[in-house]
A and B are shown apart, each in its own frame.
Chain A
Amino acid sequence: MPKHVIVIGAGPAGLETSANLAKLGIAVTLVEKEESTGGHVKQWHALFPALLPGTEALDAIRKGMPENVRVQNKTTVTGIEAVNNYFTVSGHNGWQEKADAIVFATGFQLFDARRKEEYGYGIYENVITSADLEEMFATGKSLVNRHGNKPERIGFVHCVGSRDEKVNNLHCSKVCCITAVKQAIEVKQMLPEAEVFCFYMDLRMFGRHYEELYKEAQEKYNIQFIRGRLSESAEDQDGNIVLKVEDTLLGKPLRIKAGLLVLMVGMEPLAGTKSLADKLGLTKVPDGFIQPADEVLQSNFTELPGVFVAGACSGPKSVSDTLADARSAALAVAGFLKL
């Protein structure tokens, strides 16, 4: 009997894990709640640091997907059970299959910026999120604010919904710092006359070529970085957003207007991941992200034999980190199945 693995979630993590498992001769069912595969990257215009178009990245990941991967789309996994030495997974629509191993590739959800009410998302028209901006880039239209004007000044607020215990998210989402730098550059390319400001607590430019992109933002685009976290925003009569931050390096409160404010929303654990993990009896899900058996040595294993993790369901990851993690997960599964 050929081994069968169920991969839950068909974003970059699920696609890459499935492709690699299939290449190792394993039959894979890739379960996806939406109609099409691709996850969040479907909505992402370009990926840092080299501005690779999201669609191009997905095409490359999907290309050459082996035939022994079957995509079970439009199916939300609702049941999951360990029975003797196999697993039974079922969906909301009655779909049910057995597998020798399962891989959580359930990813993340974007922070709902309305929860930071003092920042004005959903209240002031010219406060948008990084995901909204990415959609605006994807349409290819000229960049205007909700009043139809080209904004003269654009502000980016880092760490929205990340590193914030007031919204119960202590973790750093890793990708928002570099995404803000990327989007700030893209905005300047579209509106060379505009002034662009980034408001940050720490700039975490840890990845390969992140620091280079940061330097380019300063050198080539004159993007201004202010070390201070937004406390609140308000709207003036003209629809501009008035920000209150402390310029911590000068040690003075600062007021500044922007025609468009972009909130860098972070990654949160997907709500459904925790309930599925609970059904299986995974106990190490401290903050909604699944904790691997060992974060250094066994990053794709969980505490339960036969249950694996790939991608951002175990913590925020960039697309490149996710793809590497997915390949590693495939090898971990193959090792478990003694192939």
Chain B
Amino acid sequence: MEKKARQFGYTITRDRQIDYDANKHDISKIVAAAEPSLNLCISCGTCSATCSAALFTDFSLRHVILLLRRGETSGLAKEVAKCMLCGKCQLVCPRNVSTRNLIIQISKAVIPAQL
């Protein structure tokens, strides 16, 4: 489709809206069942501020949690792979989210073949 459009001198710009209704929400349900503290996140960003991986990559647990909650799960496997599981985020979280287990559970849910 894009190739054909280019032949005619057009490009196709994809819709960048979050299509909440079309998105699949089963992964967030699986993760929430395995680690219920997922639901406690208030997006304060303390985890991302203290994150060692975030200094050199664009990894952000706050962002990952939001993607998960909105059903934007296609890129999650790549995201969670950036985490080194050091656990600093768990020390600073004001809502006591079990962040390390959360990452492990997201990994399990999105890359079942690897674990």
A interface, CB within 8 angstroms of B: 118, 159, 163-166, 201-202, 227-232, 244-248, 251, 253-254
Q: Does B54 contact A (CB under 8 A)?
A: yes
A246 touches B55 (CB 8 A): no
Interface readout for B62-96 with A: 1 if CB under 8 Å, 0 if not? Answer: 11000000000000000000000000000111111
A-B contact pairs, 29 of them (CB 8 A): A165-B95, A165-B96, A166-B91, A166-B92, A166-B93, A166-B94, A166-B96, A201-B44, A202-B42, A227-B45, A228-B44, A228-B45, A228-B49, A231-B46, A231-B47, A231-B49, A231-B50, A231-B92, A245-B45, A246-B46, A246-B47, A246-B49, A246-B54, A248-B45, A251-B60, A251-B63, A253-B54, A253-B55, A254-B49
A229 touches B96 (CB 8 A): no
Residues of chain B within 8 A (CB-CB) of A159 are 94
Residue in A closest to B55 when the chains form the complex, CB atoms: A253
Interface readout for B31-54 with A: 1 if CB under 8 Å, 0 if not? Answer: 000000000001111111111001
A-B CB contacts (within 8 Å), total count: 66
| Given the contacts A229-B44, A231-B49, A246 and B94 also touching, CB distance less than 8 Å | no
For the complex formed, measure the closest distance between the CB of B110 and the CB atoms of chain A, giving whole angstroms: 20
Residue in A closest to B95 when the chains form the complex, CB atoms: A165
CA distance A103 to B41 in the complex (A): 38
For the complex formed, measure the closest distance between the CB of A241 and the CB atoms of chain B, giving whole angstroms: 15
Residues of chain B within 8 A (CB-CB) of A246 are 45-49, 54, 60, 62
Residue in B closest to A227 when the chains form the complex, CB atoms: B45
Residues of chain B within 8 A (CB-CB) of A201 are 42, 44
CA distance A245 to B55 in the complex (A): 12
| Given the contacts A163-B94, A166-B96, A248 and B50 also touching, CB distance less than 8 Å | no
Apart from A229-B45, A229-B46, what are 9 other A-B pairs with CB-CB below 8 Å? A166-B93, A229-B94, A230-B49, A245-B49, A246-B46, A248-B44, A251-B58, A251-B62, A253-B49
CA distance A230 to B60 in the complex (A): 15
For the complex formed, measure the closest distance between the CB of B61 and the CB atoms of chain A, giving whole angstroms: 10
Cβ 8 A contact of B51, one of A164, A229, A253: A253
For the complex formed, measure the closest distance between the CB of B65 and the CB atoms of chain A, giving whole angstroms: 12
| Given the contacts A164-B94, A165-B94, A251-B60, A244 and B48 also touching, CB distance less than 8 Å | no
For the complex formed, measure the closest distance between the CB of B64 and the CB atoms of chain A, giving whole angstroms: 11
Residues of chain A within 8 A (CB-CB) of B58 are 251
CA distance A165 to B47 in the complex (A): 14
CA distance A246 to B102 in the complex (A): 20
For the complex formed, measure the closest distance between the CB of A66 and the CB atoms of chain B, giving whole angstroms: 46
Residue from B44, B45, B60, B92 with most neighbouring chain A CB atoms (10 Å): B45
Residues of chain B within 8 A (CB-CB) of A118 are 92
CA distance A159 to B42 in the complex (A): 13
Residues of chain B within 8 A (CB-CB) of A248 are 43-45, 48, 62
For the complex formed, measure the closest distance between the CB of B51 and the CB atoms of chain A, giving whole angstroms: 7
For the complex formed, measure the closest distance between the CB of B22 and the CB atoms of chain A, giving whole angstroms: 24
Residues of chain A within 8 A (CB-CB) of B50 are 231-232, 244
Residue from A164, A246, A251 with most neighbouring chain B CB atoms (10 Å): A246
For the complex formed, measure the closest distance between the CB of B53 and the CB atoms of chain A, giving whole angstroms: 10
Residue in B closest to A249 when the chains form the complex, CB atoms: B45
CA distance A166 to B44 in the complex (A): 14
Please give me the 4 A-B residue pairs with the lowest Cβ-Cβ distance, nearest first.
A246-B45, A231-B50, A248-B45, A231-B49
Residues of chain B within 8 A (CB-CB) of A253 are 48-49, 51, 54-55
For the complex formed, measure the closest distance between the CB of A335 and the CB atoms of chain B, giving whole angstroms: 40
Residues of chain A within 8 A (CB-CB) of B96 are 165-166
Residues of chain B within 8 A (CB-CB) of A227 are 45
Residues of chain B within 8 A (CB-CB) of A166 are 91-94, 96
CA distance A245 to B54 in the complex (A): 12
